[in-house]
Amino acid sequence: MNDLIGGRVMVTMDSLLQTLPHIRSGRLKALAVPGPKRSALLPEVPTIAESGLPGYALTNWFGLLAPIATPEDRVQKLSTDVIGILKDADLQKRISDLGADVVGNSPQEFGAAMRAESAQWAEIIKAAGIRAEQ
């Protein structure tokens, strides 16, 4: 981020959580947002798909994970508590103001979303012939 602001890097792709303060201050210019729709915080900034790459949509997410051996009742209790906290209007506004959307889905929905994204990236990695370097 420092190199981008300092002009040593010409472009980057990062989350609004990291870039929004710099966009608002005028130190960075948003060219496009990677998600499937425009950001409510930057409605004048087009999506990458609108900018000439149809079908492009990329989001980042944050989630709570527990060890696989965690008892189901504890997972459900934690999920219920966290979802309850995420329903707080003040917290939702704070998170939204930072550039993120509150989802608060179930452990099953979150797991399904992670599996779907992993499969999508596995296909892209395979098609591109990407290999890990040692």
Please tell me the distance from the alpha carbon of residue 18 to that of residue 29, in angstroms, as a whole number. Answer: 13
Among 60, 91, 109, which residue terminates a domain? 60
pLDDT-based confidence at 7, cuts 50/70/90?
very high
Task: Specify whether 70 is located in the same domain as 55.
Answer: no
Using only C-alpha atoms, the chain has a radius of gyration, in whole angstroms, of 18
- The pLDDT score that the predictor gives to residue 59 is 86
Provide mean pLDDT across the span 113-119.
94
Task: Specify whether 65 is located in the same domain as 127.
Answer: yes
pLDDT-based confidence at 99, cuts 50/70/90?
confident
Task: Specify whether 24 is located in the same domain as 79.
Answer: no
CB distance 107 to 79 below 8 Å: yes
Among 60, 83, 102, which residue terminates a domain? 60
Task: Specify whether 21 is located in the same domain as 78.
Answer: no
CA–CA distances in Å: residue 44 to residues 4, 28, 64, 100 = 22, 15, 32, 17
Write the burial class of residue 33 (CB in 10 Å: 0-12 exposed, 13-18 middle, 19+ buried). Answer: buried
Residue 42: domain span? 1-60
Task: Specify whether 76 is located in the same domain as 130.
Answer: yes
pTM of the complete model beyond 0.85: no
Tell me the per-residue pLDDT of 9-20, one tens digit each, with 9 for 90 and over: 999 999 888 999
